[in-house]
Amino acid sequence: MTNDDKVIACLSQFDYSARMKNIIEAAAHVGISKRSLQRYKDAGRIPVHFTRGKTRDVMMFEESDLDALKHDLENPKHPAPSQIVTAPGTDTSADESQALALTNTSGRLTEFAGLITKTIEATLTTRRASPAELAPKLMLSIPEAAALSGVAVATLRRAVQDKKLKTVAGIGGGYGKIKRADLDAYIKKL
């Protein structure tokens, strides 16, 4: 008996088809939609195997992996009391029902809070162009036109929608750009 024959004999004693399920069978086994199962696969919560189909590779899931995922979904891990996070600025001695319970899984909460902080800081520190810097520009966005003219952004948008103020479409997206001469003519009419 050659090594190949030994491998074939060893593998033939297992019925892989009974333990492997395609995505439809797997989703039904766990009790979730196909799309949810794909999301769990993409997130790395369940391994996937591919087998050759007639026209393309087919995703196959092992029954033991599906059972583990089903168990995890039916028995979610609740945060320990030390992991309960309260909203900033709230009284920590307040009723626990006011606290937002979040689980810090692998530092994701900390990472998310850092991203939020960076976004807020960037928003607060974003410097708007001064009218002196905008004066030489020939084409202005609506916020720039508002800063230069002192007219509210909403008023300028309404003027564009009512065709009282012309814009050049396709430049800058959204409402487009306003020519400086058109803005000056609109301001004189006010």
Looking at the structure, do residues 47 and 108 belong to the same domain, yes or no?
A: no
**Cα separation, 189 vs 65, whole angstroms:** 71
Write down the pTM of the prediction: 0.36
Neighbour tally for 181: CB within 10 Å: 10
Q: Are both 68 and 7 inside the same structural domain? A: yes
Residues 120, 159, single domain; the answer is no
The pLDDT-based confidence of 142 (bands split at 50, 70, 90) is confident
Return the CATH number at 28.
1.10.1660.10
pLDDT at 99: 44
DSSP assignment of 9-64: HHHHTS-HHHHEEEHHHHHHHHTS-HHHHHHHHHTTSS--EEEE-SSSEEEEEEHH
Q: State the CATH number of the domain containing residue 176.
A: 1.10.1660
pLDDT tier at 137 (50, 70, 90 boundaries)? confident
Supply the DSSP symbol for 54: S
- Containing domain of residue 114, as a range? 81-125
Total of domains in the chain = 3
What is the average pLDDT across 152-176?
Answer: 82
